[in-house]
Every structure is written in structure tokens, then in C-alpha cells.
Structure 1
Amino acid sequence: MKAFFDDRQWRHAPRHFMANGALLPNPEEPRRIEILTGGALAAGCSFAAPGDAGLGPIAALHTAEYISFLRNIYTRWRRIEGAGEEVIPNIHPASRSDGYPKSAVGQAGWHQADTACPIAEHTWEAAYWSAQTAIAGADYLLEGGTMAYALSRPPGHHAFADLAGGFCFFNNSAIAAERLRAAGLRPAIVDVDVHHGNGTQGIFYGCSDVLTVSIHADPARFYPFFWGHAQERGEGQGLGYNLNLPLPRGTGDADYLATLATALERCDSFGADVIVVALGLDASVDDPFQGLAVTQEGFARIGAAFAATGRKILFVQEGGYVSDTLGANLTRVLSGAQGG
């Protein structure tokens, strides 16, 4: 399988992470790259560096205002006397209709949903090349490939059009799907991350030409809390084009795979000719977030289920954090997709 990655993605090394009021090491650490690369190589992937498609494919989904913010905020932040080493918001608007401030602190609150997306010196560069990695995967399918893996890091599925959150800055899976849609294909995004793909849902919530499906731990008591509930079906022209399939905490292979079958049936009904898999591996029984309980064998069957659709498949890396089985889980997904 063809795989894509750019070395500049190593440069984002977030330090700040707060959970339940406690400061903890940030789990979206660069070491994930080493583990995931090893897992992909073990599945027989051959890596290539992405080309630079420019800002156009990113700006097709993310606002110019937000892109300008991400590009410049670290430099502006460093001008603040006594500012911390990372851009972290401490105030947020009550709604998206509130006034847009000029202050760097205020804009951080506007464009960063939570404290899990700290911005440091090299965040812009890494996020840009993470998006280019997903774009390269989409282009590979457009050029005749049938299956590809994009090692996009930092991940993307919690990023809205103008809002970072949950370790995510640019929505790589959404950018790839839009690239495919603009070329005349009919893409479905199936998000298998343990967390709901709230940014992806938000970007396409009013659209009828991209199907969004997310399988995730029930957000009633799990991040991102405010999105991912079953009643969220889309709005306007997009009504019926968003499907959320929340699962009880601790759900294992059998129920997970039955839910995936429901997701793929919806892709059939949509008439999808390509599926972008937002590939979170944090549904693993061994993942530090402990949301779901998918085993290595379960991941192999997930990969095989996508391949069995007979469609073009682009796997875009989302979550999946350091554990003894992280690399093996990726190997099992990609091997399963290739019939191994």
C-alpha cells in the first residue's frame, strides 16, 4: 500500500495538556510517528513525501481568517510580556455570533475550542504538512490508486472550519474528502476514532454531497461531550447526510463490527465511490483513553470490512496514543485491508 508522510510533521511537540483539572503530559507526542511508521512498514507500506499543493485545498474548507490566525498567532503571542511558551486560551466567546477581538489572547479563545490544542513555534508548519499528506493520499486515488494511507500528524477530525480543538488544527480527513468531491467523486467519511469527529461533522453538516459517519464512545460522558449524539443528522440540504453511532464505554469487537456494518450500509445507500477512513486507533482496548475495547483481531476485521466494499479507500491517521499495541493495531488494519 502506498503511504505518505512529511518529516516536518515531527516539529510539533505539544507540552500542555489538562484533563480533569490536572496538568498531564500531552499524549499527542511526536513518538507516535515512529510507532505508526513502524506499523505501516510492517503492513508492507512504501512511504513517499507529499508534494505541496498549496493553501488552496486547505482554504476550500478552513476560513482565511482562521488560516491567518494559525499562521501568525505564535509570533504575536511571543510579544506578550510574560506569555507562556505555547498559545493556550483562557477565555472563550459565549457563541460564534459574539464580537471578534483584535487581541491575540481573545483570538486564541475564539479559534481554540479547548486547552488540548496548544500552538507552539512549529505547529503551523507541522499542521500544514499534515494536511498536505492527506491531500497527497487523495491525489494518489485520483491518479488511479485504489488504496492509500496518510500518516497525518497532528490529527484533524476535531478541527472545524475556524476552530482548533482536541490536538487538531486542520481537518485532514475533511480536506481529503473535499479534494475528492471537487474532482467529481462522491466521498463518504467514516470516522472510527474513539472520539466523535465533531469538526468533520461541523464542516459538512449542511452538505448533501459528502456523507459523514462517526462510530465513537458515547459523548454523554466522553470527549467531545457536546457533539456526536445520535439525533444529530445534519441540517438544511445536509439533513440525513450525517450519521452518529455512539457506543457504550467498553464496547468490544462483536458490537463494534456490527456497528461498522451499519455505517458501511449507509455508504452504500449514499452511493459513495470512495471512502475516507478517519483512522483513529484509540478505540483499542489498550489505548490510554480507555473508551472502547477493540482488539488487534478486531482492527484486522475493520480493515477487511473497508476493503470488502470494493471502493477506493484512503486511510487518514487520526488518534491512537502510545501503548504496547499501537503499531500492531495499525499493522492489523492495513494488513486486513490488503487481505492479510
Structure 2
Amino acid sequence: MRIYHSDATKARRARTELDGGQLVPPWECPERVDMILAGLREAGVGEVFSPAEHGLAPVLAVHDADYVDFLASCWDDWRALGREGEAIAWVWPTRTMPGRRIPSCVDGRLGHYALGADTSICAGTFEAAMASKDVALSALDHVLASGEPAFGLCRPPGHHAAVDQFGGYCFFNNAAVAAQRALDAGLSRVAILDVDFHHGNGTQQIFERRSDVLFVSIHGDPMTCFPYFMGHADEVGEGDGAGYTVNYPLPEGSSAEVWFHVLEAAKERIREAGCELLIVSLGVDTFAGDPISAFTLASEDFTEMGRRLAALGLPTLVLMEGGYAVAEIGTNVANVLGGFEQGQAAKRG
């Protein structure tokens, strides 16, 4: 399996996250990339390729242009005010203050475009987000050209990024950008299967009124898990997209047995929809040792995950989402990709 990676994805090194009432170093950090690459090398999975540059056009096919301009200029605007810390939103439009106009000052724009106070903007944020979507698109180009699977080691992740909102460490929605590019290349319907512990609210929001992308997510119940306000089972899409959003919220502490049972239901829905491409938003934060999640999968379960994903028999693009800086992150990613290759071999045999 080809692996796409760029060191430019590590340009963002945020120092600040609001967690439990304290400002702490973010769980999402550049070291994750090195840990994953080390795990892939140790397991002998795949060959690493550098991505090509794809510019902003694929991003603007999914994201609001003013939002993209904000991300490009935010850090410079923030620093121009003489501030030493990182740019963090601290006031938002609310139910009683709906915010019908976008403020001109950077503090107001941060509140307009931010999902929450968990994600700061720092030097290198825009550059890393650009590199991350290039990784995703280059991996997609290989899948479309060859029919063979590919893994995009995206960082920052993307599935919390909506049309015009960032958060959850996400700025550009890599899976959504890739799905739109695949449709523009002539595919009729694409499946995005999000297996991250946290619901992909951004991906759902981007496609919830469309039937050309089936969004399926297995995640922690939003009644108790971030991002809290999206991802319930009765959210099934709207208008033309009715029936093309499928959410499987699971309680904290869910076991591998429960998780795999739901995965089979998710796979059946993908088969029924007649999808021509599978994009996997891969979060390995379903691991029992992940510091900010609450499922109980073991490392060997990720091998089985890969095997079962391969059983769908679809051209497959795997993109990195969550899974945080614990010693097993590289092993867990390598197990998914290795398991996928095993599943492909078994299907051919």
C-alpha cells in the first residue's frame, strides 16, 4: 500500500489547548507523525511517497472562501496586535446573540469561525493544513489512477472542519475535499466511513443535504462525548441527502465485539448505496489506551478492522484523523493497513 506523507504537515506546533479548565499542550502534536511513520517502518507496511501540490481550488470546492481567507491571514492579524500567545476564540455567536454579521476584528472572526476553544491557531497552521490536504489528494489520485489502496498520513486531521468552521484540531476537511475531487473526476457516489472515536461533525455538515456522498460514522455517544452537539442516530440527512447520513453512537466503554458488530451494519449500508469509492476517516483513538477517548479496542483489533474494511472490495483511500501520542499509535495504524492488505490477499485467493 502506498503511503503519502509530507514533513510540511508538522509545520503547526501549537502550544495551547483549553482542557479541563487549564491551558495545556495539545494532544494533537507533530510527534504523532513520527510515531506513525516509525510504526509503519517497523511493520514493513507500504512505501512512503511525497505528495504533489494541488493548490486551493479543491479546498474551495468544499469550504467557504471567506473562511479560507481567514485561516490564511489569522496568525498574521493576531500577531499584528502585539499578542504573544496563540490565537484562541473566547466569544461566540449564541442562541441569544446570533451573530448575523461577521466582525472585522480578529477576535470576532475567531469566534465566528471556531467550533470551540480547544483549538488554537499558531504559526504554521495554514501551511500544515495545505500540506495535509495535498497528502490526501495525492493519495486519492493514486487510488483513482490504479484502483489500488493508499494511505494519506494527514496532519492536521480534518473531520471536525465544517464548510466554514474549524475545531477539534481540524482546519480543512481532508476526507470531504478528497470525496469532492473524486466526484469531479466522474464517480457517482462516494462513501466516507468515519471510524474515529469522535463524531465527524464537519463531514456530516458538508454533505448532509447531498446523496452523492454517503457519510457513515461509528463514534462515542454525543450525549457524553465531544463534539456533543452532533452525531445522534436520528440525524439521517436532509432534503436530497435524506438517508445518506448514518450515525452509530456507542456508549463509553464499548468493547471490540460491540464495535465490530456495528461495523458490519455500516458495511452493509455502504453496499446498499452502490458506492464506487471508500474513504476511511481513520482514527485509532478507539484504542483502550487513548488519553481522550473511551472505547476499549486492543492493538490486535486494528488488524481485524483492516481485514473487514478490505472485505468491502472497493477502491479505498485511508486518511489519518485522530489517535494521540501514545506509544501504540504507530502499531495501531500499521495494523489497520497490514490487516487491509491481508484482507485483500484473502479476497483475491
* TM bracket (short chain): over 0.9
Q: Is the 8 A contact 1:127 1:153 kept in 2?
A: yes
Equivalent-residue separation in structure 2 for 1:33 and 1:171 (angstroms): 18
Contact 1:87 1:120 in 2 (8 A): yes
DSSP-derived class of the 2:146 partner: coil
Residue of 292, 295, 305 corresponding to 2:295? 292
Aligned to 1:310: 313
Q: 1:84 to 1:231 in 2, by over 3 A?
A: farther
The yes-or-no answer on 1:217 pairing with 2:220 is yes
Deviations 1:211-246 (A, max 9, x none): 001100111011000001111111111111000001
Query: Where do residues 74-113 of structure 1 align in structure 2 (5 Å cutoff)?
Result: 74-81=75-82, 83-94=83-94, 98-113=100-115
Question: 2:37 maps to what in 1?
Answer: 37
Structure 2 residue identity aligned to 1:272: C
Query: Is 37-46 or 313-322 further displaced after alignment?
Result: 37-46
How far has the Cα of 1:84 moved from its partner?
3.7
Q: In 2, distance between residues paired with 1:286 and 1:325?
A: 8
Q: Is the 2:13–2:123 Cα contact (8 Å) retained in structure 1?
A: no
Cα displacement (A) at 1:196:
0.2
Normalised TM-score (structure 1)? 0.97
SS at structure 1 position matched to 2:342: coil
Aligned with residue 149 of structure 1, among 141, 148, 151: 151
Superposition RMSD on alpha carbons, in Å?
1.2
| Letter paired with 1:163 | Q
Tell me the alpha carbon deviations over residues 3-35 of structure 1, each in whole angstroms, 9 at most, x when there is no partner.
101111111111111122122221001100101
CA contact (8 A) 1:43 1:334 kept: no
Map 1:176-255; keep pairs closer than 5 Å: 176-185=178-187, 186-255=189-258
| Equivalent pair of 1:296/1:328 in contact (CA under 8 Å) | yes
Name the amino acid aligned to 1:149.
Answer: F
Instruction: Work out whether residues 252 and 295 of structure 1, in 8 Å CA contact, stay in contact via their aligned partners in 2.
Output: no
How far off is 1:100 after superposition? Answer: 1.1
CA drift of 1:252 comes to 1.4
Superposition deviation, residue 322 in structure 1: 1.2
The alpha carbon displacement at 1:116 in A equals 2.0
Shift in alpha-carbon separation, 1:118–1:271, aligned structure 2, 3 A: same
The answer for the alignment partner of 1:129 in structure 2 is: 131
CA displacement at 1:85 relative to structure 2: 2.7
Q: 1:43 offset after TM fit, Å?
A: 4.3
Look up the equivalent residue of 1:6 and give its one-letter code: S
What residue is the counterpart of 2:262 in the other structure?
Answer: 259
Q: Which residue of 1 aligns with 2:56?
A: 55
Aligned-residue offset at 1:64: 0.6
State the match for 1:335 in structure 2. Answer: 338
Amino acid at match of 1:44: V
Runs of 4+ in 1 over 3 A off after TM superposition: none
What is the identity, as a one-letter code, of the residue corresponding to 1:30? P
Paired residue total: 339
Counterpart position of 1:25: 25
Question: Is this contact kept in 2: 1:284–1:292, CA < 8 A?
Answer: yes
**Contact preservation (8 Å) 1:230, 1:246:** yes
SS at match of 2:74: helix
Matching residue's letter, 1:80: L
Alpha-carbon shift at residue 164 of structure 1 (Å): 0.3
1:97, distance to aligned residue in structure 2 (A): 5.9
Shift in Å, 1:142: 1.2
1:271 aligns to what? 274
Rounded Cα–Cα distance in structure 1 between residues aligned with 2:231 and 2:294: 14
* 1:6 match: 6
Query: Partner of 2:288: helix, strand, or coil?
Result: coil
Distance (whole Å) between structure 2 residues aligned to residue 184 and residue 294 of structure 1: 37
Q: How far apart, CA to CA, are the structure 1 residues paired with 2:232 and 2:138?
A: 32
For 2:318, the aligned partner's letter is F
Secondary structure at the residue paired with 2:80?
coil
Gaps of 5+ in 2: 344-349
Helix, strand or coil at the partner of 1:219? coil
CA–CA distance in structure 2, aligned partners of residues 240 and 141 of structure 1: 27
Match of 1:73 in 2: 74
Local SS of the residue matching 1:143: helix
Offset from partner CA, 1:273-308 (integer Å, 9 cap, x none)? 211000001000111113111111211111011111
Distance 1:5 1:325 in 2: 19
CA distance in 2, matches of 1:21, 1:227: 23
State the identity as a percent.
39
